[in-house]
Amino acid sequence: MARTASCPKCDAEIGDTYEGADWSVGISAGYYCDACDLGVAEHEVGIDYPDDHTPISFATEPGESRGTEMRKLSGRAGHPGWEEFCRIAKSWGYD
């Protein structure tokens, strides 16, 4: 599933230009805008996720709960937590 991402300079769609990091040459993961001849770091773009996307996040305050607790998930079919695992995986584009 391709993500959509926009160039922060010209607002062009650059989601299909993503390249992973290559630390051997000092390049961070990110996107490239042909129109601006601009490399854009992954954290610099506004990413538009689908409505059913389930993000991974961490609680920042004691007692705060975000997302599904790991103990409530299972990667094994037929075990408690399997259905929730499948729902989250599907929201990320997996079958």
Q: Which whole number is the average pLDDT over 51-62?
A: 63
Residue 59 has pLDDT above 60, yes or no: no
d(C-alpha 82, C-alpha 73), whole Å = 6
Spacing of C-alpha 30 from chain mean position: 12
Residue 38 has pLDDT above 70, yes or no: yes
Work out the percent of the chain whose per-residue pLDDT is above 70: 73
Q: Which whole number is the average pLDDT over 8-32?
A: 83
Take residue 62 and report the two structure tokens written for it.
């004691």
d(C-alpha 39, C-alpha 8), whole Å = 10
The domain limits of the chain are 4-48, 52-95
Three-point CA angle 80, 81, 87, nearest 5°: 140
Take residue 85 and report the two structure tokens written for it.
């695992």
d(C-alpha 74, C-alpha 86), whole Å = 9
